[in-house]
Structure 1
Amino acid sequence: MPKSIHRPEYKVLLEFIRETRVARGVTQDVLSDRLGRGQASVSDIERGVRRIDVLELRDLCQQIGADFLGFVAELEKRLVSIEAEPSKPAAKRKPRAPHSGR
């Protein structure tokens, strides 16, 4: 199983974090001040450069005025919906020409 940061579900989490922050009218600057971090830290989280754990997610929800349990419930709905989508078939590769060994 790939690391969570490389899974499509993690991208859903990051998009939902940003969407929720923006919907609450909180800028990255304001959120970073509330969290006691630099703005780049929030940007790194939203871009997936820096991994976030569940306690940091809880803090983030509190600082943007989002109910943590409600956030997680909505995230679960979104994850279930992407898991229900049919998978795209893998791209077919062109067969390689035999290597002559010369």
Structure 2
Amino acid sequence: MPKPIHEADYRQLMEVLRQARLRAQLDQAAVAEQLGVPQSFVSKYENGERTLDVIEFVAICGILGLDPSQEIAVIGRRPRLRPTAKTSN
């Protein structure tokens, strides 16, 4: 199965969350406790095994002291791969 075109962006965003967690001197268990989820939840999104929905992302940003809109804006400024238009002959 082909990889989604947004995979690199998503991995970058998850790395931002992981680095922010480390800067905040929190382990995965501490973040999970504040979210009310198992530690494996944090591990899986940081490792790309699980995706986050917007509500989860905002909650995690709150715990880590990040502004969600600023973090998304960084991703929005990255160059995008554009699907090539099919030409008809």
TM-score band, normalised by the shorter chain?
A: 0.7 to 0.9
Matched residue type, 1:74: V
Partner residue in 2 for 1:55:
55
Q: Is the 8 A contact 1:16 1:75 kept in 2?
A: no
SS of aligned partner of 1:49 = coil
- Greater relative contact order, per chain length (Cα 8 Å cut-off, separation 6+): 2
Structure 2: tracts of 5 or more residues without a match: 81-89
CA distance in 2 between partners of 1:4 and 1:25 (Å)? 32
TM-score under structure 1 length normalisation: 0.65
Partner residue in 1 for 2:76:
76
Matched residue type, 1:56: E
Structure 1: tracts of 5 or more residues without a match: 85-102
Partner residue in 2 for 1:16:
16
- Cα displacement (A) at 1:2: 4.3
- Say whether 1:67 aligns with 2:67: yes
Per-residue deviation, residues 39-66 of structure 1 (Å, max 9, x unmatched): 0110001001111111110010011222
Structure with the greater alpha carbon radius of gyration: 1
| Aligned alpha-carbon RMSD (Å) | 2.2
CA distance in 1 between partners of 2:5 and 2:30 (Å)? 28
CA distance in 1 between partners of 2:48 and 2:59 (Å)? 17
CA distance in 2 between partners of 1:63 and 1:54 (Å)? 14
TM-score under structure 2 length normalisation: 0.73
Q: Is the 8 A contact 1:13 1:75 kept in 2?
A: yes
Q: Percent identity?
A: 27
Partner residue in 2 for 1:39:
39
Per-residue deviation, residues 24-82 of structure 1 (Å, max 9, x unmatched): 222111000000001011000100111111111001001122222232233434xx1xx
Partner residue in 2 for 1:89:
none
